[in-house]
Amino acid sequence: MKKLSLITLILFLGFTSCKTTHLPTYTKVPVSLRDHLTYKEGRKPIISVHRGGGEMDGLPENCIESFAYIASKMPCIIECDIEYTKDSVTFMLHDSYLDRTTTGTGKVKDKTWAELQTLTLKDNAGKVTPYKIPTLDEVLKWGKNKVIYTLDVKRNTPYRKVIESVVRNKAENYAAIITYNLNAAVEVYKINPNLLISVEIMKVADYDRLHEAGIPDKNMIAFIGTREPKKELTDFLHAKGIMTILGVLGNLDAKAEKRGNDLYKTWVNDGADILSTDRPEAAYSVIK
């Protein structure tokens, strides 16, 4: 009887250890997001999932269910979009109109949060799903110890409200703010100088303007555009410890799909540290 029990125990432990290997492996949130996203020679490239996913059938962009799916497949950055209701609620949506991604219609800024809660999300093929629109607070709470976020603040949304949510949820160490111009970058830095900021740097002159405006190198991640990276620019930024984000979404993703996924490696070798993509699983398969 003792022998049988021992065999049973060994089989049970073997089974449970096998199961464990299939559990989701989320991104390990670093002790310091600044240190983690500071360029160091020889570091591994990172996948940034554009709009938080939506590549898979039945999984809409900008929702927690899609974040969970892709984060279980790879360590990643979740790039996601923040809109703002008529009654001042920050929530996740890319478009200024509801029609494409939800069961609703009309302009987002004309709706209250109570109205939006009655809607469900559509996937990228237009199929209605059971998933609801999440608030920014819900997304930040879910993401703790699972992912790193880059938060794309849409035109209608005040940076101040987004930063308040980040601070309220103690998400400073796993959330960076995306900006598209000098004034926005300066605004974010003045509101909270402890946050990492994604800034647009397409040429050295763009960096010079940010530097002159008082934004330290340690606060910058450089978005370098949606075309093949220029080695002289990436070398310049790397020398300052600034990591680069290449937007392969759209044109470059299409080129890789047509000519072969090894192109993602080429762009990494040319200095792209973070690949922002609509094909996260394909890109990860060749750079991991």
Integer Cα distance of 248 and 229 in angstroms: 10
Q: pLDDT tens digits, residue range 40-74? A: 999 899 999 999 998 889 999 999 999 999 999 99
In this predicted structure, the answer to whether residue 79 has a pLDDT above a threshold of 50 is yes
Quickly count: other Cβ atoms within 10 Å of residue 72's Cβ. Answer: 13
In this predicted structure, the answer to whether residue 156 has a pLDDT above a threshold of 60 is yes
Quickly count: other Cβ atoms within 10 Å of residue 240's Cβ. Answer: 14
Whole-Å CA distances, 95 to 4, 105, 120, 203, 204: 62, 11, 15, 29, 31
pLDDT given at position 72: 94
pLDDT given at position 54: 83
pLDDT given at position 27: 60
In this predicted structure, the answer to whether residue 1 has a pLDDT above a threshold of 80 is no
92-98: Cβ within 8 A, 24+ apart: 92/52, 92/62, 92/63, 92/133, 92/134, 92/135, 92/136, 92/139, 93/62, 93/133, 93/154, 94/51, 94/61, 94/62, 94/152, 94/154, 96/154, 96/155, 96/156
pLDDT given at position 15: 35
Integer Cα distance of 169 and 72 in angstroms: 22
Mean pLDDT of 243-271: 97
Integer Cα distance of 261 and 245 in angstroms: 18
Q: Phi and psi (nearest 5°) for 122?
A: -105, 150
Q: Phi and psi (nearest 5°) for 147?
A: -140, 170
**pLDDT band of 7, cuts 50, 70, 90:** very low
- Give the mean pLDDT of the chain: 91
In this predicted structure, the answer to whether residue 266 has a pLDDT above a threshold of 80 is yes
pLDDT given at position 71: 94
Cα 193 to the center of its chain, rounded Å: 21
Question: Does 169 or 18 have the greater pLDDT score?
Answer: 169
- The domains found in the chain, sorted by start residue, are 27-287 (3.20.20.190)
Instruction: Provide, rounded to the nearest whole percent, the portion of the chain with pLDDT above 90.
Output: 87
Q: Which residue has the tokens 């940034």?
A: 48
Q: Structure pTM?
A: 0.89
Read off the tokens for 281: 């699983």
